[in-house]
Amino acid sequence: EQYGRALVQIRSGAAAEAIPALEALRDRRPDVTLYHTALGQAQLSAGRIAASRATLENAMRLFPRNVPVTMRYAETLMRDGDPKQAHVVLLDLFNNVPPTAEQARYTAIAANAAGDVADSYYYMSEFHIISGDLSLAINQLRLAQAVPGINSVQRERFDARIRELEEYLPK
């Protein structure tokens, strides 16, 4: 009941009011990931970015590679002006857990904000693959190939993915 009420407060613009209840729930049951993520979300929504970052860093230690924790942490890192770290944590997660389309898109956004344009195109291609549009995925990979300064490993990765996807397209 307290958790549900806190979520309603967050969504209705009263995130600061939800924080004490979520802190109490988290302190009572530190093994429940939802309490950590909701607290981090409430803190972020209330403009308490440093507190959100600390809450979610702790949750990352307790629940490594947990998708909701990592996504909330990445969101906080982006709002805190640290897109490079957001990109790093998302890459670590999605090199171990397949992303959803929306998670691939968010990884592309983080990569772009971090200045890694080629990886941004690559993750947008993954978004299009998951969404079922192989032609758009190939176009994104060709854009990645055109980014100045990519290294030979990146180039080969993009080439290999294009060849793989082209096998599935009608001749």
Residues 87, 109 contacting (CB under 8 angstroms): no
Report pLDDT digits (tens) over 139-160: 999 999 999 999 999 999 999 9
Asked whether the whole model's pTM tops 0.75, one would answer yes
Residue-wise pLDDT tens digits, 11-42: 999 999 999 999 999 999 999 999 999 999 99
Give the count of beta carbons closer than 10 Å to the beta carbon of residue 92.
Answer: 14
CA distance 15 to 34: 16
Say what the pLDDT of residue 170 is.
86
What's the pLDDT band for 171 if we cut at 50, 70, 90?
Answer: confident
81-113: per-residue pLDDT in tens?
Answer: 999 999 999 999 999 999 999 999 999 999 999
Is-contact 34 27, C-beta < 8 A? no
Residue 19's contacts (CB-CB under 8 Å, 6 or more residues apart) are: 39, 42, 43, 46, 48
